A and B are shown apart, each in its own frame.
Chain A
């Protein structure tokens, strides 16, 4: 998902009996769906894992601005240009809400930004794929936002109050994102031969990277077990991936596009589709920095951060001067 491969403590989940009284009280609250708030006692592992997860999610929103922003100046109509700009702007807003949630855990946004730029923190691998045609903007909205929503809707019930509230706001705002993507795909799929070709090509390139967004199977992962127990992860990766495939295949059929998977078949017994796993070697390569756009993405963020330093410093210096003058006058 937007937060892939987040490591927790690495230890197994403790039973209530094994916990000290403070931790047990904490776990009981989580079990009863009582939200944990910033000043409440929490295990250090919970705090650290949340910072990693929320930070990674926030970074994904910010880096995620880039592949779509790539088409703002080339959008084909005034309306499409405005819709896309509003959408990419929403991603910036979502990054901001998430950084704010992480900041309640005692890490600053600037610190997280520095960690992103130095490679210490990651962002979702999906944004290391390029957007090559206008249909990619449709595919990103339809598939990438579709996959993101699949994860974010349950996270509205996550145990950490500020994270949960950020998710509620994000889900509300995101509801138009996937629809605008599908709307572009419909226009393309019903359009000229060239437009249809673009639409199919976009689906071909974004299908497997979208499946990768949920992360490798975590059925036996200790990190996942702990995160599920803490309710900062609500479903397993495989559950969400299956749900995504089941939802998306009929949507592709409606468009008259073919999902690039020969093995795709409805399985009556499980009530879902059988599908091929993505190439997980590719996933790990991209995660390690060898994807098609890793360098471009990080360079763009670094440049924005470095070039913006004088602006941030300048405005702060002015405020301090003004404030100093006010204090002196009082």
Chain B
């Protein structure tokens, strides 16, 4: 049970860590100042959530690892984020589409987690759910605006959706760990969130004049169980962990 809870917390924390890292790459490079500032706010929220999830994960593991130890000293195969969040930023359209697809899931998942039988998870979710609600509001608005904007923006958003949609489906795979945790009332069963998610996404896409591609998640080694990540994760970690690896055990 402790192992499953540890793994669950890593999944939550690794998703927000890797996505927060990706979004932070935009700082100083966004299409317009207001968007630069907004993206940084999103990244800051995600990194804040990461600290809470990983700190708790370290406590559950009981091996004395801090949130920083977990973030900076694990190698790729020990990461449990979905592949969606480690994909490169691409153009701004791909970034914002990835954000919306994740935000919508994060909001639904966090709403359910506020009722978790694990009090600490419920508490963290209570704080994070407000942030996620704003993230959805913002990324949804931008997806609609760009989807139904110019011919070029429409085309780019449809291309982004075509790339990303299969990856979004990984969010709803229920494996044994999830099933155990869902049975104990710690997390919602991911696959039970899918219908609602799909309906919400479809409504947004209709407004954005975009079409859901016919696709399914074929990446059999999914990211969440750590079995097979994309090649991108290793490069993220190479950057993120470099100082901690090059100068081990220092205070910063």
Contacts and interface: CB of A to CB of B under 8 A. Distances in A.
Q: Do chains A and B touch in the complex (CB under 8 A)?
A: yes
Interface stretch (A39-47, A145-153, A261-269, A315-323): A315-323
Contacts of A104: none
B37 A82 contact: no
A192 B247 contact: yes
A318 B149 contact: yes
Nearest to A70: B28
A313 B149 contact: yes
Is the contact region of chain A dominated by helix, strand, or loop, or is it mixed?
helix
A99 B144 CA distance: 28
Contact of A307 (B27, B31, B251): B31
Contact of A300 (B29, B145, B150, B252): B29
Dominant secondary structure at the B interface: helix
Contacts of B244: 76
Interface in B25-55: 25, 27-37, 40-41, 43-44, 47-48, 50-51, 54
B148 interface: yes
A223 B240 CA distance: 47
Nearest to A64: B28
Contact of B153 (A74, A77, A304, A313): A313
A310 B157 CA distance: 11
B67 interface: yes
Contact of A88 (B27, B156, B240): B27
Interface string B125-165: 00000000000000000101110111011101000000000
A132 interface: no
A62 B29 CA distance: 10
Contacts of B243: 74-76, 134
Given A89-B41, A307-B31, A81 B24 contact: yes
A209 interface: no
B91 interface: yes
Contact of A311 (B54, B146, B236, B239): B146
Most chain B CB inside 10 Å of its own CB: which residue of A81, A88, A99, A316: A81
Nearest to A133: B243
Contacts of A311: 31-32, 35, 92-93, 146, 153
Given A85-B44, A191-B250, A308 B30 contact: yes
Interface of A: 62, 65-66, 69, 72-82, 85-86, 88-89, 92-93, 95-96, 99, 109, 134, 184, 187, 190-192, 194-195, 300, 303-305, 307-319, 321
Nearest 7 A-B pairs (CB), nearest first? Answer: A308-B31, A314-B153, A314-B149, A65-B28, A89-B40, A311-B31, A76-B252
